[in-house]
A and B are shown apart, each in its own frame.
Chain A
């Protein structure tokens, strides 16, 4: 188990470094996909199958596909983005220091009087991780869960309303009008007498 953890953790860190060092944005996105995969495997090793599969399903299967889509379409020029590096460096260093301090605090959490995670006990094979998670979410954490759902709904509505604009001069089909067309609108039958044979 431990060897497996170190193998996947190494690949994960390597992929994460690849995300920020790759010159091509498409490669960055693919490194991120690899990173997600490896963190899913780490969760599997912790017997959190549901979370692991959902991570792959949501992030790799949906979010990253849209990322790839956008990055490929935009054709981002990396050089012009990198030109402001020295200007933003102080802010970057500040963020880095904050994250490092936070990480250190998480590692030393037991010295701050907080209860850390105890020894993990392996569950028997018939233990249903998904069912347990569902039971907890829909009973104990019901309000938090519903709140998260409502926030997501608001985000969806906001995103859709942002894209709902009519551009003038856009040549798009009006489906309702297309479907509503009847034969009488398009076809005109003209009745005329047959011409005399020459």
Chain B
């Protein structure tokens, strides 16, 4: 304690913030590692097999084995590839996915950076993820990688608009751009009926599906499309650089799941808020509920991958531009009417 007191006050603050940032980042990274294991296990059981069960008890050390294996492998840079961009592209795809956690309301009263324009910050950062994919495709100097990058760029630009419109409605409903205030705007006696998924149901669906498309996950994974373009944008990547792309995809999945939970399922609010009261174990808001909701959406990601065949490319574009965007625009008008007539319990 004496050492701590001797540090000047400004440095104490910097150290505390640094510790918080490290704690959140390490937890998220661990979640990413175990999500890769969860994916193999869940899809394994869906396909009536066991999945990895050899490394450690019940296969729990499998992610570490994978990481060590990938770290020890050689990084091959293709001839006449752009070295600098080739190496920096995976970093560009994982950084936004981790940086967005800065504004995430984890439990009541805790956000790393409680900024007013938090929602805009998240939108700006998620729109940066596409650079990693495009640059990887271009810098690899490979046809397949380039095709994958082009597909991914067009797809992400299309679905970002639908996502943005869905978030416009969230902002209208909550009257705030601050993620913590958006969560609090969903609190109320009706518990889970008070959350925004009900009045914004079409947008909730559109947002989550667009999120799946943004992360290039099945059934929208044409950027990788192994049956058509081998592995798409990361076909030339190996070793650590491949590992980072791999982790970025899972970090993005966790981010989208957490954001959907915050925007539409009331973040850290308990679904039994009105039933048991805020003081009881089940009624109290907390990190547990936030994690549970995020885990539910993550399971949906894995479930989709094991269930749906890949979309055809022109159908992806049609879904994004001709179905999702009109639906969101119409629902913004419906929501405007709901707010104007003060429909209870959300807008009373």
Q: Known contacts being A26-B138, A49-B117, is A56 close to B124, with CB within 8 Å?
A: yes
Whole-angstrom CA separation of A67 from B89 in the bound complex: 17
Q: With a CB–CB cut-off of 8 A, which chain A residues contact B127? A: 57, 60-62, 65
- Scoring A26, A33, A61, A62 by chain B CB atoms within 10 A of each residue's CB, the highest score goes to A61
Q: Separation in Å of the B123 CB from the closest CB of chain A?
A: 6
Q: In the bound complex, do residue A61 and residue B160 qualify as a contact, i.e. CB atoms below 8 Å apart? A: yes
Provide the bound-state CA to CA distance between A68 and B131, in Å.
9
For residue B299, CB closer than 8 A to chain A, the reply is no
* Whole-angstrom CA separation of A128 from B178 in the bound complex: 10
Give the chain A neighbours of B157 by CB distance below 8 A: 62, 65-66
Contact (A65, B117) CB under 8 Å given A57-B124, A60-B128: no
B154 & A53 in contact (Cβ 8 Å cutoff): no
- Provide the bound-state CA to CA distance between A130 and B121, in Å: 12
- Once A53-B117, A130-B116, A130-B117 are accepted as A-B contacts, the answer to whether A61 and B314 lie under 8 Å apart by CB is no
Determine if A50 and B128 form an interchain contact, defined as CB atoms under 8 angstroms apart: no
A129 at interface, CB cutoff 8 A? yes
Q: B102 an interface residue at 8 Å Cβ cutoff?
A: no
Q: Which residues of A contact B156 (CB under 8 A)?
A: 65
Q: Give residues 95-148 of B contacting A (CB, 8 Å).
A: 115-117, 120-121, 123-124, 127-128, 130-131, 134-135, 138, 146
B338 at the A interface (CB under 8 A): no
Task: Judge whether A69 and B153 touch: CB under 8 Å.
Answer: yes
Q: How far is the CB of B65 from chain A (nearest CB, A)?
A: 36
Interface residues of A in 7-47 (CB under 8 A from B): 26, 30, 33
CB-CB under 8 A for A65 and B124, given A49-B117, A72-B146: no
Question: Is B162's CB within 8 Å of the partner chain A?
Answer: no
Q: How far is the CB of B134 from chain A (nearest CB, A)?
A: 6
B134–A69 contact, CB under 8 A?
A: yes
CB proximity of A125 to chain B, nearest CB, Å: 9
A73 at the interface (CB under 8 A from B): yes
Complex CA gap A61/B256 in Å reads 17
Residue on A nearest B127 in the bound complex, by CB = A61
**8 Å CB contact of A175 from B128, B131, B160, B318:** B318
Number of interface residues of B (CB under 8 A): 27
Of B177, B315, B318, which is in contact with the most chain A CB atoms at under 10 Å from its CB?
A: B177
Which of B115, B117, B138, B160 is within 8 Å of A62, CB to CB? B160
- Contact in complex: A49, B115 (CB < 8 Å): yes
A83 at the interface (CB under 8 A from B): no
Bitwise, B254-274 to A at CB < 8 A (1) or not (0) is 000000000000000000000
Give the docked Cα–Cα distance between A62 and B161 (Å). 10
Determine which residue in B124, B130, B150 has the highest number of CB atoms from chain A within 10 A of its CB, and name it: B124
B120's partner among A50, A60, A72, A131 (CB-CB below 8 A) is A50
Query: Which residues on B sit within 8 Å (CB–CB) of A139?
Result: none
**Of B120, B149, B153, B315, which is within 8 A of A53 by CB?**
B120
Question: Which secondary structure characterizes the binding site on chain B?
Answer: helix
User: Is A69 in contact with B154, judged by CB distance below 8 angstroms?
Assistant: yes
How far apart are the CA atoms of A57 and B146 in the complex, in Å? Answer: 24
- Whether A73 and B134, one on each chain, are in contact in the complex, defined by CB atoms closer than 8 angstroms, is no
> Which residues of B have CB within 8 Å of A26?
138
In the complex, which residues 13-69 of chain B have their Cβ closer than 8 Å to any Cβ of chain A? none
Nearest A residue to B154 via CB reads A69
Contacts of A33 in B (CB 8 A): 131
Contact across chains for A72 and B115 when beta carbons are under 8 A apart = no
Which listed residue (A53, A60, A62, A175) contacts B121, Cβ 8 A? A53
B123 contact set on A, CB distance < 8 A: 57, 61
Interface residues of A in 109-161 (CB under 8 A from B): 128-131
Q: Mark B296-337, 1 if CB is under 8 A from A, else 0.
A: 000000000000000000110010000000000000000000
Please report the C-alpha to C-alpha distance between residue A50 and residue B116 in the assembled complex, in whole angstroms: 9
A61 touches B116 (CB 8 A): no
Query: In the bound complex, do residue A50 and residue B130 qualify as a contact, i.e. CB atoms below 8 Å apart?
Result: no
* Cβ of A77 under 8 Å from chain B: no
With A72-B138, A173-B314, A175-B318 known to touch, is A65 a contact of B131 (CB < 8 Å)? yes
Cα distance A113–B131 when bound, in Å?
Answer: 46
Q: Say yes or no: A65 contacts B153, CB within 8 Å.
A: yes
Kindly state whether residue A54 has any CB partner on chain B within 8 Å.
yes
- Residues facing B in A62-95 (CB within 8 A) are 62, 65-66, 68-69, 72-73
CB <8 Å contact, B153 and A49: no
With A57-B127, A130-B116, A130-B117 given, name 6 new contacts (CB 8 A): A49-B116, A53-B120, A54-B124, A57-B120, A61-B128, A61-B130
Q: Which 4 A-B pairs have the closest CB atoms?
A: A61-B127, A57-B124, A56-B124, A53-B120
Could you list 6 examples of A-B contacts with CB < 8 Å? A30-B135, A33-B131, A57-B124, A68-B153, A69-B154, A175-B314
